[in-house]
Structure 1
């Protein structure tokens, strides 16, 4: 594909999106009916602002979902301390709830506009951002090109390209370059990610590390934790967290295997998507397991097999119930989920072998003895059983995980160094505007 052809395709994509714009209403309505859109704020998805633009310089930060939102929270805190005003967009109801809980009115939250020309232009016409910061792998052609035409600097932070994404972009090098050349800077998570962005035409690229390592300990409700610990008593506990379809039933099979040696074991299952709670409770019950659902406030009685953590935003609670955590999307799923929060909470980390999305983090954890990768339900059951029987080994593994994560930190400072040439002029302008109005 020639460079000219690539630009023609991007232009066609943009115009096709504009033509399809009137037809997306039913799609958004369907998502809203399933709880995936905020009914009261659907207009924001079309670029219609629900808040006025504040005076002075404004930075637009976009974080797609829960993981990306958590990653940029420390960065947002730094920018707020500099006096920078921020409009933060996310794409999910859950991430919006996290923004409200963690940041309140310190930022302006909007749902990200659809990557369609009318929606993007309406959003940009209203907010007029002086800088756009995108988290991880958010590559939206219409948005990127629209910002480029308006000469708004764009920076990708915590940049990551999965194996699949990189292979797809490699087949269309001119298309990739036509998009990635719009970024004023890419701050990549790892050396491998940095090499991939460079290969696709991004310039300049800095390896800054993973912002998710900068996260604080996940919060939890101390009263609920105390109640659950009292109900659990001295029972051995292990957790399967951030699980995806199929992994909950693997955890159920592991529970059965564990009962041969730990007859009063309690398994905590925390699905990645809490809305699957009804279906999972039914499937687990059909397997003869007694389930207590946290969303219903069920009591963890002595004969309960599984505590189903079907609530959002409570990972800090569930991880504090057990010193052993299997991190999902790594056996039946592909790519893995973030092991950093379990590692920070003195937890021995287990995962399947499909952890490409966190390759660097898992490699360091495994090399330092803070994590172990398992092949199937049998090896997972064996690893959990060993750790339940050997508290010294569990503590050693958990300690290694915590120390390793702390040693890997530093991404926030490096990311701020990348952003400084773009942020510093805005800070100066903001202060000049403030002094001029006094």
Structure 2
């Protein structure tokens, strides 16, 4: 980087360190201790990684990437690094990556994430030329190896990935940092306020903070973020999820016109509710088919036991079992096929919301002409849920009884179901300009990157 850029980066880092006086001094001391402890504790972290490896939670062929080492050469020229934690966040970055590739062809793009499932999905969906790596664990040596090799000019981090060594080292190495789709749940906000000097020091290393909602923006400002704006939820910019046409046609043939509904991204405690609702609804719709897509497919066998204990007939996708006329529940326990289920069903309950998990993305089914239902726990997507509900694009149910009642109405009244789906699709369409706002905000930082 040219001297001017280095001075700018150092000034940014200094502002992050100096803001807050005594509090900032305490923060620097704490982070110095954290760096020392993570350095000393590196052997324990390596043991932890090996344990995760035996459980299938790390990639045996790419485990070195978690320690900041790679077999890939760095491309020549300036590089922009984008980081997201897992599947949902990585998918939300795809439209931005495609836009950057199209409008900034001189830049190389590096994508990092932390989970095996996200890496597999990115192998299928990242545009040609974009590099994927696992994010290094937050050890000083691993972070240094990663940054020394890739030397990103700009780093874009999604939502709330606040790894102290990674953030501070990247900033001090001259990487401009952006927090994109910044999210602070009410619980996190309460916790971080108790250690405000620490989070303020970390936020001070970001040149730009883009919050996903006005509430998140207010929380981030209060916690010490500097240049902050509300660009909207990046997940709204994602294109509709795709589906394999052959698989969709085959499943539609198996279903043969039966009434059906989908319980998507369910968590522990919700599958029992779904099973009970199904049993009650069959009094009105004897041929009803219920689809369950668990948020974590590794729960599938436990879910099957729950369903079969209630005398329900289950067909399980991972076992290759077909839907027959006797199937009560189709257990769709695979990764990367949510678009298939949203294309198949036109009534969708989005899980993680009847239990206090915080809910999941409500726009994904809305974009595919589904009538969308959710429970009361939507803190992870509160702005999205409130906006959809205000627009008449969402049915929010309080409990099992309301879920059953609402489903019964939508299954019986196709006109009402179609109207709700059309309203949801219209709402989703109106949110899609978030990507333009993000690009406009990024433009000054992108223009600063030397391309010659």
Whether TM-score is above 0.5 comes out as yes
Say whether the 8 Å CA contact 1:61–1:89 is kept in structure 2: yes
Deviation string, structure 1 residues 334-367 (Cα, Å, up to 9, x no partner) = 2110111100011111111010111111111111
- Specify the SS of the correspondent of 1:2: helix
Shift of 1:137: 1.1
Say whether the 8 Å CA contact 2:153–2:174 is kept in structure 1: no
Q: Give the corresponding residue for 1:46.
A: 67
**Structure 1 unaligned regions, length at least 5:** 433-438
Say whether the 8 Å CA contact 2:83–2:156 is kept in structure 1: yes
Shift of 1:386: 0.6
Q: Provide the rounded CA distance (Å) in 1 between the counterparts of 2:89 and 2:313.
A: 35
Say whether the 8 Å CA contact 2:179–2:208 is kept in structure 1: yes
Q: Provide the rounded CA distance (Å) in 1 between the counterparts of 2:345 and 2:287.
A: 14
Q: Provide the rounded CA distance (Å) in 2 between the counterparts of 1:390 and 1:92.
A: 42
- Specify the SS of the correspondent of 2:352: coil
Q: Provide the rounded CA distance (Å) in 1 between the counterparts of 2:254 and 2:53.
A: 37
Shift of 1:304: 0.4
Say whether the 8 Å CA contact 1:185–1:204 is kept in structure 2: yes
Q: Give the corresponding residue for 1:371.
A: 394
Q: Provide the rounded CA distance (Å) in 1 between the counterparts of 2:437 and 2:152.
A: 23
Matching residue within 52, 60, 81 for 1:60 = 81
- 1:21 matched to 2:45? The reply is no
Say whether the 8 Å CA contact 2:264–2:295 is kept in structure 1: yes
Q: Give the corresponding residue for 1:230.
A: 253
Q: Provide the rounded CA distance (Å) in 2 between the counterparts of 1:323 and 1:373.
A: 16
Q: Give the corresponding residue for 2:169.
A: 146
Q: Give the corresponding residue for 1:381.
A: 404
Say whether the 8 Å CA contact 2:98–2:127 is kept in structure 1: no
Q: Provide the rounded CA distance (Å) in 2 between the counterparts of 1:378 and 1:33.
A: 42
Q: Give the corresponding residue for 2:112.
A: 89
Q: Provide the rounded CA distance (Å) in 2 between the counterparts of 1:178 and 1:104.
A: 35
**Structure 2 unaligned regions, length at least 5:** 1-21
Matches within 5 A, 1:23-422: 23-81=44-102, 82-83=104-105, 84-103=107-126, 105-422=128-445
Shift of 1:299: 1.1
- Specify the SS of the correspondent of 1:86: strand
Q: Provide the rounded CA distance (Å) in 2 between the counterparts of 1:107 and 1:312.
A: 22
Say whether the 8 Å CA contact 1:190–1:209 is kept in structure 2: yes
Name the TM-score, length of structure 2 as normaliser.
Answer: 0.93
Say whether the 8 Å CA contact 2:211–2:232 is kept in structure 1: yes
Number of aligned positions between the proteins: 429
Q: Provide the rounded CA distance (Å) in 2 between the counterparts of 1:238 and 1:283.
A: 19
Shift of 1:104: 5.1
- Specify the SS of the correspondent of 1:342: helix
Q: Provide the rounded CA distance (Å) in 2 between the counterparts of 1:182 and 1:58.
A: 19
Q: Provide the rounded CA distance (Å) in 2 between the counterparts of 1:383 and 1:22.
A: 54
